[in-house]
A and B are shown apart, each in its own frame.
Chain A
Amino acid sequence: MSTAGGWGLILAMAAITFAMRASFIVLQDRIRLPALVRRGLAYVPAAVLAAIVAPAFVQFGGDADIAVQAPRWAAGIVGALVAARTQHMVAVLFAGMLTLWGVQALLG
């Protein structure tokens, strides 16, 4: 990719991303949200977070290698339990990473 092409791509990505972020915050009431959409916003965090999280821990298909997957499953289960119990992010990070490294070492 040429230098000019690279900058063009970066600026276009930036414009798209900023338009998404600014949309409602900047325009406020000039965009009216239908009632259904407003009700739906209550479910955005749980749904979007799940959509980001789940594929990072659970993967099916031809490229899913058990030696790569098993440590992630273990770390995900331990992390979820610690998260539910403590709701403390640093605790989850420690427990999750230690589990990941432990199972990776076991599978050697």
Chain B
Amino acid sequence: MTFSQGFREGARDALPVVLAVTPFGVVVGVAAVEVGLSVAQAIGISYIVYAGTAQLAALQLIAVGSPVAVILVTTLLLNLRFALYSAAFAGHLRAAPVWWRAVLAFMMTDQSMALGSQRYGRFPERGAKIAYYLGVSVPVGFVWTTASTLGVLLGGGLPAGWSLEFAVPLVFLTLWVVAMVRGTPPVWVAGAVAAAVAVLARPLPFNLGLLAAAFAGIAAGLWWETRHGPAPRPGVAIVADAAPAARAATTAPDATGGRAASTRVGAKP
């Protein structure tokens, strides 16, 4: 697979994600102005921090007068998941030189993680993985920053009654359902436990519920795997192939393999 083929495949997979990210970007842009950031800051934050969920949380905290320390700890907690993605992707992206890896890391999103985790089983070449990663990340980044800038310039001009920001949870819902449908029993346990804990732990301050749920789910999946033996196939082929011990899991047939038609999520996010 050539670089441009990989890039195009990623860009095609990113298309519906881009549609969904647009209203979210606009919402974050509008919120940044409303909370009192200058226009330059409100636009700049989406380019520099580039993490919508954490930005939205920070803006809410600024609005209620939270101390800076609380805002930064919340940012750290909400973005800890990027360290998990980073570990999962390290092996896939290791062919690139270090400065280039820093650029790739900067462009990481939930979407590049979710799409890559479903596609990488079919890409043996590391160059193609990098091309695909860029194919997803560049359009998502471009549309997100543009939409957010638009939100800043629009101010409050968005029709609130349309609930367009609801597109974001629908995107994540799709990704989750697909991960579950294609998963193995320990993956189902991990997903179900995380969902239950997330709902119950939602009242926890500073979005701690999200992390509690994620770790509870991962622990439950490991517990199930330990009790009932390893899964016959990896549910989602996101396992880092950096370490030799993980290689068996990475090279096992990807659950998404063959059945993904081009417009499907599996072919996709």
Q: Hey, which bits of chain A sit against chain B, CB under 8 A?
A: 1, 3, 5-14, 16-18, 20-26, 28-29, 32-33, 35-61, 72, 75-76, 79-80, 83-84, 86-90, 92-93, 96-97, 100-101, 104
Question: Out of B75, B170, B194, B225, which one reaches A13, CB within 8 Å?
Answer: B75
Nearest 7 CB-CB pairings of A with B: A47-B217, A43-B221, A56-B169, A51-B213, A46-B191, A83-B177, A49-B176
B142 at the interface (CB under 8 A from A): no
11 contacts between A and B (CB under 8 A): A6-B37, A8-B68, A9-B72, A42-B186, A46-B217, A50-B176, A51-B210, A58-B199, A79-B173, A88-B265, A93-B174
Contact of B75 among A16, A39, A58 (CB under 8 A): A16
Complex interface: chain B residues within 8 A of A83 (CB): 173-174, 177-178, 265
B135 interface hit (Cβ, 8 Å): no
Q: Is the CB of A89 within 8 A of B105?
A: no
Instruction: State the total of A-B contacts with C-beta under 8 angstroms.
Output: 309
Chain A residues lying within 8 Å of B54, measured Cβ to Cβ, are 13, 17
Residues in B with CB closer than 8 Å to A29 are: 242
Q: Tell me the complex Cα distance, A87–B167, Å.
A: 16
CA distance A12 to B128 in the complex (A): 34
Main secondary structure of the interface of A (DSSP, over half): helix
Chain B nearest CB from A68 CB (Å) reads: 10
B28 beta carbon closer than 8 Å to chain A:
no
Question: When chains A and B are docked, how far (Å) is the Cα of A51 from the Cα of B204?
Answer: 13
CB < 8 Å: which of B93, B183, B215, B239 contacts A41? B239
Contacts of B60 in A (CB 8 A): none
Let me know if B84 is at the binding interface, CB within 8 A.
yes
Question: Interface size class for chain B?
Answer: 35 or more
Q: Which residues of B contact A100 (CB under 8 A)?
A: 163, 166
Q: Are B49 and A14 in contact (CB under 8 A)?
A: yes
Q: With A and B bound together, what is the CA distance between A21 and B141 in angstroms?
A: 15
Q: Say yes or no: A96 contacts B173, CB within 8 Å.
A: yes
Contact B36 A49 (CB under 8 A): no
Cβ–Cβ contact B240 & A33, under 8 A: yes
In this complex, which of A7, A52, A58 has the most chain B Cβ atoms within 10 angstroms of its Cβ? A52
CB contacts (< 8 Å) of A101 on chain B: these are 162-163
Give Cα A75 to B168, complex, Å: 12
Selected from B16, B82, B195, B219, the residue in CB contact (under 8 A) with A54 is B195
A34 to B50, CA, bound (A): 30
The verdict on A93 contacting B236 (CB below 8 Å), with A38-B243, A45-B117 known, is: no
B192 at the interface (CB under 8 A from A): yes
Residue B269 CB within 8 A of the other chain = yes
Complex CA gap A34/B211 in Å reads 20
Which of A6, A44, A59 is the one whose CB lies under 8 Å from B218? Answer: A44
In the complex formed, the residue of A with least CB distance to B114 is A45
Residue of A nearest to B161 (CB): A104
> Which of A20, A41, A43 has the most CB atoms of chain B within a 10 A radius of its CB?
A43
One of B168, B199, B222 near A43 (C-beta < 8 A) = B222
Interface contact B263-A88, CB-CB below 8 Å: yes
Q: Are A24 and B83 in contact (CB under 8 A)?
A: yes
B86: nearest chain-A partner, CB-CB: A24
Task: Select which of A10, A26, A41, A46 is within 8 A of B48 by beta carbon.
Answer: A10
**Quick check: A16 and B239 within 8 Å, CB to CB?**
no
Given contacts A41-B239, A53-B195, A83-B173, contact A6 B245 (CB under 8 A): no
Whether the Cβ atoms of B177 and A80 lie closer than 8 Å is: yes
